[in-house]
Structure 1
């Protein structure tokens, strides 16, 4: 049973006060240590935040650079493909003579952009150009073709075909394009050539 203050001697009281003082100092030291750790943590968080901002800024710059590069590559493919389009499609029996770049339309919340549109008379060919042509790009162009006449009604009465072109063309992209009824264009020497089988029958949208 602990002694009351009246029962304690002066020496015992001094010893108790000394012990309390030591405990108080230890508590104060722990508080200071905790505060120091909080400050260190806050400083580390600020440093982490600064580094994250730097990373995001660098990523944003790289994204813009690669986006610009992608746009330039797309323009390069268009420039490579465009001069050969009329002759290539005429050789396959399509009566075309005009090539229009970047045909766009926005209607009822939908949008469409066609890289190259080859037209004349009652025939049109919508050509999508990519630096690398993949199966996924082929599928996206089929989706584009499915809304072509709805978003570009001036061509509603024409026979519309689809075509895809690339500097590098995956084999499964050629298979997917032919299965979907799309023409496929790829580099051949200093120009481009149609890669479809001789008996290929293009889809008419």
Structure 2
């Protein structure tokens, strides 16, 4: 039987070992450099994220303050508009109501009472309807809605109000016929035509006075 002997691995020379050591050292140095670079990049990202978070917080605070300023400005504008509307509405009512009954009496109604800002409430003190001007006698009650600028929507709302007034009158045994009118400092042709079609008288400004607009031929006021 023949024995086969294995040759041992050749031994590395000092020069080879030294070269391998230097190669490993260089790889470790490169690895350390890459780790340091990665660590620096991570720190840069964290710093940029921190700066982004700070800017987002500042922007959010600025937007919050701007929103507060905007809401405050809107509130002030709405209040100013509301006050202006109230003043104009009151001015128109004062211009219209003192002489209003005479204008309608000239049409044969003979109104004896003029009341402004009339409020109708139910048994639970809930407001059912509000009337800017109410002309009355024993046969008729004429409810007038006064607007700074009369629109078709205002006319529609007054028609609904008239139905409420009729029901309110019936509950209180008021058998008078209820008529309606709309008045405006500015009355468009569209609003005027729609009001007449709805059976309302229309009062509009004419120079320094207020007049009852001439209705279409054969027109009759609607009675509720």
1:84–1:191 contact (8 Å) kept in structure 2? no
**1:201 pairs with 2:184:** no
* Residue equivalent to 1:67: 82
Question: What SS is found at the alignment partner of 1:25?
Answer: helix
* Residue equivalent to 1:186: 204
Q: Distance in 1 between matches of 2:181 and 2:111?
A: 14
Q: Distance in 2 between matches of 1:86 and 1:199?
A: 23
Where in structure 2 are the equivalents of 1:27-176 lying within 5 Å? 27-107=42-122, 111-152=128-169, 153-154=171-172, 156-176=174-194
Question: What SS is found at the alignment partner of 1:147?
Answer: helix
Q: Higher relative CO (CA 8 A, sep ≥ 6), structure 1 or 2?
A: 1
Q: Distance in 2 between matches of 1:143 and 1:64?
A: 28
* Residue equivalent to 1:4: none
Q: Distance in 1 between matches of 2:43 and 2:198?
A: 77
For residues 162 and 71 of structure 1, do their structure 2 counterparts lie closer, same or farther at Cα, with a shift above 3 Å needed? same
Larger Rg: 2
Root mean square deviation of aligned Cα: 1.9
* Residue equivalent to 2:18: none
Count of matched residue positions in the alignment of Structure 1 and Structure 2: 199
Following superposition, the deviation at residue 135 of structure 1 comes to 1.6
| CA distances 1:11-52 after superposition (whole Å, capped 9, x unpaired) | 422321221011111111111111111211221121111111
**1:26 pairs with 2:41:** yes
| CA distances 1:132-173 after superposition (whole Å, capped 9, x unpaired) | 112221111111111112245447311110000111111111
For residues 27 and 189 of structure 1, do their structure 2 counterparts lie closer, same or farther at Cα, with a shift above 3 Å needed? closer
Q: Distance in 1 between matches of 2:120 and 2:156?
A: 20
Q: Distance in 2 between matches of 1:120 and 1:137?
A: 26
Following superposition, the deviation at residue 55 of structure 1 comes to 0.7
Greater mean deviation of Cα atoms: 101-110 or 13-22: 101-110
Q: Distance in 1 between matches of 2:55 and 2:29?
A: 38
1:149–1:155 contact (8 Å) kept in structure 2? no
**Gaps (5+ residues) in structure 2?**
1-20
Q: Distance in 1 between matches of 2:100 and 2:218?
A: 19
